[in-house]
Amino acid sequence: MTTFVKIIDGVVVQKQPYAEPGFVSAPDGLVCGMPFMETPEEVAVWKAERAAYVPPVTLPDLAPYQFRAMLTLSGNQDALNAFIAALPEPNKTIAQSKMEYSLTFRRNNDLVMAAQGALGLTEQELDVLWLQASLIL
């Protein structure tokens, strides 16, 4: 069965089974919203790329008890304390205040990212710890 599509700015905006002015013949598999492609092979590649795409995970903020439990349970509390103690002033005082008084801890916080390197954790390792900590209720 032949498919006909209407294209605006290179994107398929309408699809139908019959010819009409403004519509062009298209390979099977095209869907509205996707770029126009002329061959079934192009469509297959585009669909495979879309299927393989994994959106980035948004990591939740942690409550102080979740963050501290993660540090203790993973054995990283002492290393983090040593990292903060070694910071020059005023960074040391700021980091200590953040650790003591923060109401939430964000994964992309500058202190968290600096500590990650100092603790020798990869991004993946810290992400796993962060997700595990978010499950502590």
Contacts made by residues 89-98, CB under 8 angstroms, sequence distance 24+: none
Residues 121-130: pLDDT tens digits? Answer: 999 999 999 9
pLDDT at 113: 92
**Nearest C-alpha neighbor of 30 from the set 19, 21, 42:** 42
pLDDT tops 80 at residue 74: yes
Same domain, 78 and 129: yes
Instruction: Name the domain count of the chain.
Output: 2
Paired tokens of 71: 């540090």
Least confident range of 27-31, 98-102, 114-118 = 27-31
The pLDDT assigned to 11 comes to 81
DSSP for 29-72 reads T--TTSBP-SSHHHHHHHHHHHHH--PPPPPPPB-HHHHHHHHH
> What is the distance of C-alpha 56 from the center of its chain?
2
Same domain? For 21 and 42 the reply is yes
Asked whether residue 85 falls in the same domain as residue 110, the answer is yes
User: Looking at the domain assignment, is residue 26 inside a domain?
Assistant: yes
Q: What's the pLDDT band for 120 if we cut at 50, 70, 90?
A: very high
Residue 88 has pLDDT above 90, yes or no: yes
Residues 69 and 114 in one domain: yes
Instruction: Tell me, yes or no, whether 69 and 129 share the same domain.
Output: yes
40 shares a domain with 17? yes
From residue 101, give the alpha-carbon distance in Å to each of 18, 61, 104, 105, 119: 66, 15, 9, 10, 22
For the ranges 23-27, 64-68, 85-89, 106-110, the lowest mean pLDDT is seen at 23-27
pLDDT of residue 78: 94
CA–CA distance, 47 with 125 (Å, rounded to integer):
31
Tokens of 13: 């905006």
- Same structural domain, 129 and 84: yes
Domain assignment of residue 98, yes or no: yes
Beta bridge mates, 120? none
Q: What percent of the chain has pLDDT over 70?
A: 99
Contacts of 127 (CB under 8 A, 6+ apart): 57, 59, 107
Same domain, 69 and 123: yes
Asked if the model's pLDDT at residue 112 lies above 90, the reply is yes
Encoding tokens for residue 135? 């499950």
Q: Is 58 contained in some domain?
A: no
Q: Is residue 59 domain-resident?
A: no
pLDDT(1) > 70: no
The domain of 93 spans 64-134
Q: Give the three-class secondary structure for 16.
A: strand
**pLDDT above 90 for 53:** no
In a domain, 108, yes or no: yes
Residue 43 has pLDDT above 90, yes or no: no
